[in-house]
Structure 1
């Protein structure tokens, strides 16, 4: 069975693009509600989002990221 890694490009790109839009919207919301501690909260949230995405990709790629 031949591995077509080119076919994985679209789903992975879709995952990251969707998350980047969500993070941007979330950033605007948090900045509007909590302007004083916005940077610390965003850094933590973005890290958690990216970690979740990496774990999701690892699960579907057989543990290789």
Structure 2
């Protein structure tokens, strides 16, 4: 099996990692912020989100 896989291998012509400039802490924080943001969007009061308490989870995550 290993020989079959190795026979089909080719050298990569390019490599790109879109998150290479981010730390794991930044990535997990972004995930938490996104989750909080989705909660805000799901809130019926999202129209008034900038003044409404429903925005607090997003603001709290963004501030941490």
**Smaller-chain TM-score range?**
0.3 to 0.5
TM-score, with normalisation over the residues of structure 1?
A: 0.40
- Provide the TM-score with structure 2 as the length reference: 0.40
Structure whose alpha-carbon radius of gyration is higher: 2
- Point out the structure with the larger helix share: 1
